[in-house]
Chain A
Amino acid sequence: MKRFDLILLKIFLYGLPVVIVLAVFGYCYSQGIVDRANGIVSLMNSVTGLLFAAWMAITLYLSFRLTISESLRDQVIAKITFMRERDEREAILTGKATKTTFLITLAILILLFSLSCIQVSIYRVPQDQAVDGKTGMISLGLGFNLFEQEKQDQASKEMQRENIFLYKGLPVSSEAILLMLIVLQIISYNYSMRRLMK
């Protein structure tokens, strides 16, 4: 299994530039830059699709294996993060840098969670719905959904209110947040390690 994983890992890494070339070819094909009527080009497009599907399958498999295989994690993730534990001192420093990274990540996750739960809206209601003659309103709320769903702003529709400012959680996609957290972990770990090494 370990050998099989390493072979797939090499295919994934060495296949990455090939996939980029295939993506460029696929784009050219879809845009009609290359002659679609040509039989060879058409065949190449089919092969491109198959290769891309195979590479995607390997990527998914490796991502899954990384979460369950400790040895693969040690080999791959440690290299990605430039983790070095050549002796006891480096092992201790790695532990300290990892602690710092863990605490920073946790703090940022708490902040992101708070920002995604908070809902703020500043709005103006029609004159007939005014409270003590005041039409400007501020509404604060907390929202938590277990699954991703379109956030409703039913109140706005019912009250025919005119929103001046509306905040319904983080306006960043989950993919962007996950990528940011991955990059943050690598940067934070390496920065802490460099500081401790001095």
Chain B
Amino acid sequence: MSKSLPQLKIVNRLNVLRAEQRITQEKLAKEVGVTRATIIAIEGGGYNPSLELAFRIARYFKTDINSIFSIAEGK
């Protein structure tokens, strides 16, 4: 991995969207085809989902990827 490039920190609003729509982690995990541990890891920032999973999550919430995942620069 290149050391010269600054590392991008990807943040997400998954827990906010989930709370708004009153969806449990378990239900979301089932709907997008992953384990609950993966949803916990995404929400906690410990894991960045693949593009495919990000699209699946966005489709589930009927929104686009940018409104869920964004880059927190300089952090």
Using C-beta atoms within 8 Å of the partner chain, give the interface range for chain B. 10 to 19
Q: How does the 8 Å CB contact mask read for A71-96 relative to B, with 1 for contact and 0 for none? A: 00000000000000011111000000
Q: Which residues of chain B are near A87, meaning CB under 8 Å?
A: 33-35, 38
Q: Contacts of A86 on B, CB cut-off 8 Å?
A: 34-35
Q: Mark B25-49, 1 if CB is under 8 A from A, else 0.
A: 0000000011101100100000101
- Chain B residue numbers with a CB within 8 Å of A89 are 34-35, 37-38, 41, 47, 49
Closest A residue to B53 using CB positions: A88
Contact of A197 with B by CB under 8 A: yes
Interface residues in A30-75 (C-beta closer than 8 Å to B): none
Name A's interface SS: helix
Q: How far is the CB of B12 from chain A (nearest CB, A)?
A: 14
Chain A's interface size range is: under 10
B50/A88 in contact, CB under 8 A: yes
Q: How far is the CB of A20 from chain B (nearest CB, A)?
A: 37
A86, B29: Cα distance in complex, Å: 11
Cβ of A90: which chain B residues have Cβ within 8 Å of it?
Answer: 35, 38
- Give the docked Cα–Cα distance between A86 and B53 (Å): 14
Q: Which residues of A contact B33 (CB under 8 A)?
A: 87
The smallest beta-carbon distance between A138 and chain B, in angstroms, is: 46
Shortest A171–chain B CB gap in Å is: 43
The residues of A that contact B34 with a CB separation of less than 8 Å are: 86-89
Assembly CA distance A86 to B35 (angstroms): 7
- Judge whether A88 and B49 touch: CB under 8 Å: yes
In the complex, which residues of chain A have a beta carbon less than 8 angstroms from the beta carbon of B50? Answer: 88
Give the Cβ gap from A96 to chain B, nearest Cβ, in Å: 12
For window 161-198 of chain A, which residues contact chain B by CB distance below 8 Å?
197
A60 shortest CB reach to chain B, Å: 38
Tell me, in angstroms, the Cα distance from A86 to B33 when the chains sit together. Answer: 9
A-B pairs with beta carbons under 8 Å apart, 9 shown: A86-B34, A87-B38, A88-B52, A89-B38, A89-B41, A89-B47, A89-B49, A90-B35, A197-B37
Which A residues lie at the B interface, using CB under 8 A? 86-90, 197
Q: Residues of B with Cβ closer than 8 Å to A?
A: 33-35, 37-38, 41, 47, 49-50, 52-53
Starting from the known contacts A86-B35, A88-B34, A88-B53, 8 additional A-B residue pairs (CB-CB under 8 Å) come to A86-B34, A87-B33, A87-B34, A87-B35, A88-B52, A89-B35, A89-B47, A89-B49
Lowest 4 CB-CB distances: which A-B pairs, in order?
A87-B34, A89-B38, A86-B35, A87-B35
